[in-house]
Amino acid sequence: MPRTFVWHPGKGPAKTEANTLTKGDVRIEQVRSGIGHPARMRATLKAIGLRHHQDVVVKPDSSSLRGAIKRVRHLVKVTPVKE
């Protein structure tokens, strides 16, 4: 019987930043397309407010937003907003 699952340790981000909450807003930029990814990831991008590649939204930082960002962390870039 052939193997159907192969683990690829080289896939995915090499390192992600620490999950630290800021007191202000965060700028979320979509750097990769959702095409070719599962529907759940595309729905998460839509829930965050990202519609297409290179789209940018500014949202208040919260733990629920951080959970959504963590699900699609390889598709987005997050930076704190300087006031």
pLDDT band at 57 (very low <50, low <70, confident <90, very high): very high
* Model confidence band, residue 14 (pLDDT cutoffs 50, 70, 90): low
The CATH number of residue 44's host domain is: 3.30.1390.20
In a domain, 42, yes or no: yes
**Of residues 66 and 5, more confidently modeled:** 66
Residue 39 in domain: yes
Would you give the distance in Å from CA 26 to the centre of its chain? 13
Residues 6 or more apart whose Cβ sits within 8 Å of residue 15: none
Q: Which domain does 59 fall in, by range?
A: 25-80
Q: The pTM is what?
A: 0.75
In a domain, 14, yes or no: no
Spatial distance between the Cα atoms of 8 and 56, rounded to a whole number of angstroms: 31
**Domains in the chain, number:** 1
Query: Is residue 20 included in any domain, yes or no?
Result: no
Whether residue 76 is contained in a domain is answered as yes
Cα–Cα distance, 15 to 65 (Å, whole number): 20
- For residue 82, count other CB atoms closer than 10 A to its CB: 7
